[in-house]
Chain A
Amino acid sequence: AQKVTQAQTEISVVEKEDVTLDCVYETRDTTYYLFWYKQPPSGELVFLIRRNSFDEQNEISGRYSWNFQKSTSSFNFTITASQVVDSAVYFCALSDQTGANNLFFGTGTRLTVIP
C-alpha cells in the first residue's frame, strides 16, 4: 500500500533561515512519482515538483531544492533563505507507476516564517 509520512506537523523559522521539510514514503511499486505541493492560506494547491522514481538527481529551483534518496525512501524539501511568503502548508504526495490512480498525500507540514 502507498503511504506518505510527514513527521513534522509544524515548523517555525525566522526569516532568512534555511528549513528542510521531511517526507518518507512507502510503496511496493518499482516505478512511481513523488510530488510536493504548497497550500497557502488561500487554500489553492500550488504544484512545486514531480520526480520520477528512476531519477535520483537532486534538483534546485531558485531557493527550493529537493533531495531524493531511494535508499531511505525519502524525498526532502529544503527552502533556503526563507521568506514570509513561504509560510504555508506543504504536502508531499505519491502516485503509482502510471499515475492513473489517485495521489496519496502526506498529512502536511505547516511552515511559519517569522519576520
Chain B
Amino acid sequence: GAVVSQHPSRVICKSGTSVKIECRSLDFQATTMFWYRQFPKQSLMLMATSNEGSKATYEQGVEKDKFLINHASLTLSTLTVTSAHPEDSSFYICSARDDNLGDYEQYFGPGTRLTVT
C-alpha cells in the first residue's frame, strides 16, 4: 500500500527559531499534499493544500508567512514553522494523494510532534 513518511517524528525547538518538517510519499507520486495540525485532544484541522510545483493554498486563519510550505517534487513536501512560539506546539500530520489514480484517497503520515520551549 501507499506509504507516507514524516521526519522528524518529534522535535523540540526554542522560541524564535524555525523548524522544518518533511513529508515524503515512498511508493507513489503525491500530486497533492495536505498539512494538518492537531492540538491535544482535538480534531485534525487542515492548514493548507499544495500541488506539486504550485503555491500552497492556505485555510482561513493560517498565516502563510509563518507556515511555509514547499511542494517541490512529486514525493516531497516540507512545512517550515518560522519564528516558532510555544503556541505553535502541536502534532503536525501530512497526507498525500495521487490524483492520477482517480480514487482521491489520502494517505497519512505518522505525524510530527513539535514542542516549542
Contact = CB atoms under 8 A, between A and B. Distances in A.
B46 interface: yes
Nearest to A44: B110
A44 B108 contact: yes
B43 A108 contact: yes
Interface in B19-76: 34, 41-46, 49, 59
Given A43-B113, A91-B44, A107-B43, A100 B108 contact: no
A99 B104 contact: yes
A96 to B, nearest CB: 10
Contacts of A110: 41
B111 A43 contact: yes
26 contacts: A33-B104, A42-B110, A43-B91, A43-B93, A43-B111, A44-B109, A44-B110, A45-B44, A45-B93, A45-B108, A45-B111, A47-B107, A47-B108, A50-B105, A91-B43, A98-B104, A99-B104, A99-B105, A102-B34, A102-B46, A103-B46, A103-B106, A105-B45, A107-B42, A108-B42, A110-B41
Given A103-B46, A105-B44, 5 more contacts: A42-B110, A43-B113, A44-B108, A95-B104, A100-B99
